[in-house]
Chain A
Amino acid sequence: MQSGLIPLHMLPLGSEGKVKDLTAMGNARRRMLDLGLILDTVVEAIAKSPSGDPTAYQIRGAVIALRSEEAGKILVEPV
């Protein structure tokens, strides 16, 4: 992992991160790209489910909930 990058699910609520890398492969990777999670996309963590997972993220104007398993495969640089 490059220095300064954290997996998306570690991004604190209310803060933003810039997508720098996807570690998912195949279909899961395609799905993430389709959500608009390409290089340098800014993502904001906006809400956690009552039990702490999944987390809702603001991605390109849409609010998408991801489980920590998926969000963990998205590496972001906190903004």
Chain B
Amino acid sequence: MGLTYQSTGTGALKEMFQVRADPSKDVVVALAGNPNTGKSTVFNSLTGLKQHTGNWPGKTVTNAQGSFSYGNKDFVLVDLPGTYSLMSNSVEEEVARDFICFGKPDATVVVADATCLERNLNLVLQILEITDRVVVCVNLMDEAKRKQIGIDLDKLSEVLGIPVVGTNARDGVGLKELKDAIYNISLGTAEANPLRIKYGNPIEKAIAMLEPCIVSLVGDRINSRWAALRLIDGDKTIRDSLDRYLGFSLADAQEPASLLENIRKTMEANGITTDELRDKIVSEIVRFAEDTADSVVTFMNKHYNDLDRKIDRVLTSKTLGIPIMIGLLGFVFWLTMQGADYPSQLLAAGLFRIEERLSGLFMSHGLPGWLHDILILGCYRTVAWVVSVMLPPMAIFFPLFTMLEDLGYLPRVAFNLDNFFKRACAHGKQALTMCMGFGCNAAGIIACRIIDSPRERLIATITNNYVPCNGRFPTLIALATIFIAHSAGAFSSLAAALSVLGTVILGIVITLAVSRMLSKTILKGLPSCFTLELPPYRKPQVGRILVRSLLDRTLFVLGRAVTIAAPAGLLIWVMANVNIGDMSLLDHGASLLQPVGYMLGMDGYILMAFILGFPANEIVMPIIIMSYMAADAMLELDSLIALRELLVANGWTWLTAVCTMLFSLNHFPCGTTLMTISKETQSWKWTLVSFLTPTLTGVLICFIVAQSVRMLGLA
């Protein structure tokens, strides 16, 4: 960045961090904390729906801000990325550190997990070194109680010299006290007397030498003791940040530079290397956290973690771990299909009844027939199809999935699968990004941010599309039900679930194979450092999950699908009904694509549907249906049996269904996903690779399957 900021404080807040606050009256509060501490629950409970999310300027790290009023003041809450530390140099840590240090929030709340306080204190202590205005929020007090862990909050507050509030954010317990503490600290009505960690002689001496000189150069723009410590530590990224925000190089200025050189020589003379110096600094904090935790936490049941360990032994066991994982996934699919079937039919019937009414209205008002056809047969019908096919499965799938997420099962999936990813020279957390991909590939791409190494992040990005998203599930489910389950009699929904599960597993295998291929060719490299936390299992909050997954995910994805389906329906209707010569535009396109479609086991219409479905995968099936129906008289399509008849009448066999499913799994990402990829990678080259890789895979697989099946005379 070529920009330098001459000022810090409120002006800089807006410029550098894009905080949506009015510096003259709003109080800015930062929210920090380890991952898995319920930090986002605290954020949501404090701000309700008054939220705004975006990116940190110039970084692919999510920046969420929200607001709330308390007392007579308006507060702007800035949710910092969840981190364990501020010193390991990941982008998230840099963002959090820079905001606390240079954004100068009026208060910083650190959310800590009551069941794992010692580990969380590490971050609390690091933040206390940067700013005095800290409130510690010890969350998940109910979990601690359940595990018989006692925490002396008053004593913790006394040791740290800052307010400590125990909360149970999921049930709203302690939030008033938390707001009170935030109010008092940020407005200075309560005096904090924060603890200073002492580092022992050589380091303290060095700080004492350097600090006055820093004060003389930068005044109170940053915490001078902290800056001195970081300069002695010699951390490169902190130096860069300091330079950027101060507008000049502090470490290279004449006086500090000569002092630093002296300090280095003294340390060396005492036999302390740079690495050892760092070890000492970090160790001091870790040890202090240990001592503090020892004095305020009492474990009334030494075996409080035994149940978690027992569950882990089953869920990650050598023999059962992977079968259970596949079983769970299959069970989720089965429940989704089984449960969605009836509501889907009901919705379809209802929506088509409305269609009749609408048609009646059009007629009685004497509106032109073509307008009726475009709006009702084009737009409305496509939307009705998308809603009735997508809504019920999503309303079941997303809550189930969120439940697994809440339980803490997903990190176990990453743990179970990591070795496969390691062999593919990829990152174990790629499994987590794939899990997100089941919901929406664009969301999966954004989730790739959790992977630090750029190489491994690119691999995860390019291969995310091999996980079928919610827009493709209906296609897979419908085809599996019609062509595979149809012949399975009483076990039809089981057979359908198994074939969808098979498709998903195939997608995972392809992901691993392609990841490895990428690692050996255009993205050469070794696996990076891997650490993965397996958080404690938690009882999911069912009511909350329902609301959250319905609002955040289901309605969001559905809304997107509908806004794309309506204009797409219109376009397709026009294409199906505008003739050039004796054929419609759609027929022209389809006949052009027919040879390629046939080679891949499909036909021209299907291929055309995939191309026209580029804006959103949800509309691929509706396009296929509409193109076939345009030729026939418009029939009412209110059941899967009718759909089967329509497809068979248009020459579909089981091979067509299989190839369509395979191509649905392996083809170019949808428009939204590609846009997300281009935003995240900042490169059209990698966007193009992400477009071509899955498409070529699909072409290759469909070609091989279609040709061999035909050669063997099976279809």
Contacts and interface: CB of A to CB of B under 8 A. Distances in A.
Interface of A: 25, 27-31, 33-36, 38-39, 41, 46-54, 56, 58-67, 69-70
B321 A38 contact: no
Contacts of A41: 286
Of all A-B residue pairs in the complex, the 3 with the closest CB atoms, nearest first, are: A51-B419, A50-B321, A34-B85
A50 B416 contact: yes
Contacts of B532: 54, 64-65
B209 interface: no
A64 B85 CA distance: 15
Interface stretch (B180-188, B312-320, B642-650): B312-320
Nearest to A34: B85
B87 interface: yes
B422 interface: yes
Given A47-B313, A49-B416, A54-B415, A28 B119 contact: no
Nearest to A36: B286
Interface in B233-287: 275, 278-279, 282-283, 286-287
B419 A31 contact: no
Interface residues of B, number: 47
B89 interface: yes
B425 to A, nearest CB: 12
B632 interface: no
Nearest to B322: A50
Interface of B: 84-85, 87-89, 115-119, 122, 275, 278-279, 282-283, 286-287, 289-290, 305, 308-309, 312-313, 316-319, 321-322, 415-416, 418-420, 422, 428, 527, 529-536
A69 B283 contact: no
Nearest to A46: B309
A35 B418 contact: no
B526 to A, nearest CB: 9
Contact of B282 (A25, A30, A66): A30
B415 A49 contact: yes
Contacts of A33: 278-279, 282-283, 286
Nearest to B287: A38
A63 B533 contact: yes
A65 B290 contact: no
A53 B321 CA distance: 13
Contact of B87 (A30, A36, A63): A30
A30 B531 CA distance: 13
A52 to B, nearest CB: 7
Contacts of A61: 115-119
Contacts of B531: 31, 35, 64-66, 70
11 contacts: A27-B529, A30-B278, A35-B84, A35-B531, A36-B122, A46-B312, A53-B422, A60-B290, A64-B532, A65-B418, A65-B531
Contacts of B122: 34, 36
A53 B418 contact: yes
A17 to B, nearest CB: 17
A50 B422 contact: no
Residue from A34, A35, A52, A66 whose CB has the most chain B CB atoms within 10 Å: A34
Given A30-B89, A56-B312, A64-B531, 8 more contacts: A29-B279, A31-B88, A34-B88, A36-B122, A47-B309, A52-B318, A54-B415, A60-B290
A50 B533 contact: no
A19 to B, nearest CB: 11
A48 B531 CA distance: 14
B389 to A, nearest CB: 36
Nearest to B422: A67
A59 B321 CA distance: 23
Nearest to B309: A46
Contact of B119 (A36, A54, A65): A36
Nearest to B86: A34
A49 B321 contact: yes
A47 B309 CA distance: 8
B530 A66 contact: yes
Contacts of B279: 29, 33, 38
Residue from B117, B319, B321 whose CB has the most chain A CB atoms within 10 Å: B321
A29 to B, nearest CB: 7
Contacts of A27: 88-89, 529
A49 B282 contact: no
Nearest to A53: B419
Contacts of A30: 87-89, 278, 282
Contacts of A38: 279, 282-283, 286-287
B89 to A, nearest CB: 6
Contacts of B319: 50
A56 to B, nearest CB: 6
A66 B527 CA distance: 13
A66 B290 CA distance: 22
B89 A69 contact: no
Given A27-B89, A49-B321, A53-B418, A70 B530 contact: yes
Contacts of A36: 118-119, 122, 286, 289-290
Contacts of B290: 36, 60
B418 A54 contact: yes
Given A38-B282, A60-B290, A61-B118, A28 B313 contact: no
B415 A65 contact: yes
Given A61-B116, A61-B119, A65-B534, A25 B275 contact: yes
Contacts of A48: 316, 318
A34 B287 CA distance: 11
A52 B419 contact: yes
Contact of B316 (A25, A29, A49, A59): A49
Nearest to A22: B279
Contact of A69 (B84, B317, B527): B527
B88 A49 contact: no
Contact of A54 (B87, B318, B321, B419): B419
Contacts of A25: 275
A70 B532 CA distance: 12
Residue from A28, A31, A59, A65 whose CB has the most chain B CB atoms within 10 Å: A65
A38 B282 CA distance: 8
Given A34-B122, A38-B286, A48-B318, A62 B533 contact: yes
Contacts of A47: 309, 312-313, 316
B52 to A, nearest CB: 31
Contacts of B286: 33, 36, 38, 41, 60
Contacts of B415: 49, 54, 56, 65
Nearest to B418: A54
A41 to B, nearest CB: 8
B24 to A, nearest CB: 39
A60 B415 CA distance: 19
Contacts of A49: 316, 321, 415-416, 418-419
B316 A67 contact: no
B88 to A, nearest CB: 5
Contacts of B118: 36, 60-61
Nearest to B313: A47
